Structure 1
Amino acid sequence: MKIDFSNNKSVNKEQLVKLYNDVQWYAYTRDVDVLQHAISQSLDVISAWDGNNLVGLIRVVGDGLTIIYIQDILVLNAYQNQGIATQLMQQILLKYGGVRQKVLLTEEAPDVRHFYEKNGFESCDKGSFVAFAKFS
């Protein structure tokens, strides 16, 4: 299987719904027009494709100079543990290597923690970092 990567922010709604619903991120698919608009307004988007099928996506917001925020990184369940998320992450980290702050917020799970730590991220519950978030 060969996975192709694209920097095109135009992804059709059906493909987005399939991807986001597959990983149970239903809050995003309640209003697919907003999701599609958010993707188009992102600083950067890299998508992963198996032929014509969207199998993964990473989305970054921020100024691209002093801070990036990795908003979304997701891969279809059937394609997980094949290195696709790592390739998506590495492409972003390479592209924004000179950016001092690379931030993301995610839910706690052992495999999630391992993935981010192996990609060079430190948890804010360790060391001298602190993180705050407000959800509506």
Structure 2
Amino acid sequence: MPIAYHLDRIPTAEQVIDLYLSAGLERPTHDAPRIAQMYANSNLVATAWDGPLLVGVSRALTDFCFCCYLSDLAVRDEYKHQGIGKQLLALTKEKAGPGSTLMLRAAQEAMAYYPKLGMETMTDGFLIRREH
């Protein structure tokens, strides 16, 4: 069965947690209400499905005209290296619009992955870390 991509299908917190655990993405997987809130408050979510199984997700916050912050890009471990992350990124960028800059903060172990998708490394960023 081919992978189906959606921009209008929000997964449940349980589906997201299962995906994050498989993908090795460090998120508050012990806190389903927080995961649900993360998705409820995101305005651009692209998903990849193998039948009923969530195999990939891109979660972003955007104004659809200038800036798009890609909060999460995750692919289930056994589905990696099939172009799913690249397709999710392309869908996110397309939906955010040609005038939007797409940016993200990468985990150290993923730093080599994003340039392969055509992303540039940024050195001009700042952050205030979350309290919990």
The residue identity in structure 1 corresponding to 2:125 is: A
1:90 is matched with which residue? 90
Percent identical pairs in the alignment equals 28
Runs of 4+ deviating beyond 6 Å: none
| Contact 1:20/1:28 (<8 A) preserved | no
| Contact 1:9/1:39 (<8 A) preserved | no
TM-score (norm 2): 0.87
Unaligned 5+ residue runs, structure 2?
A: none
Equivalent position SS for 1:27: coil
Residues of 1 paired with 2:115 and 2:24: CA distance?
23
2:125 is matched with which residue? 131
Residues of 2 paired with 1:15 and 1:7: CA distance?
16
TM-score (norm 1): 0.84
The residue identity in structure 1 corresponding to 2:17 is: V
Unaligned 5+ residue runs, structure 1?
A: none
Equivalent position SS for 2:16: helix
- Please identify, of 39-48 and 68-77, the stretch whose mean Cα deviation from structure 2 is larger: 39-48
Residues of 1 paired with 2:17 and 2:36: CA distance?
10
> What is the number of residues matched between the two proteins?
130
Equivalent position SS for 2:72: strand
Residues of 2 paired with 1:26 and 1:123: CA distance?
21
Residues of 1 paired with 2:94 and 2:37: CA distance?
26
- CA drift of 1:9 comes to 4.6
- Please identify, of 18-27 and 55-64, the stretch whose mean Cα deviation from structure 2 is larger: 18-27
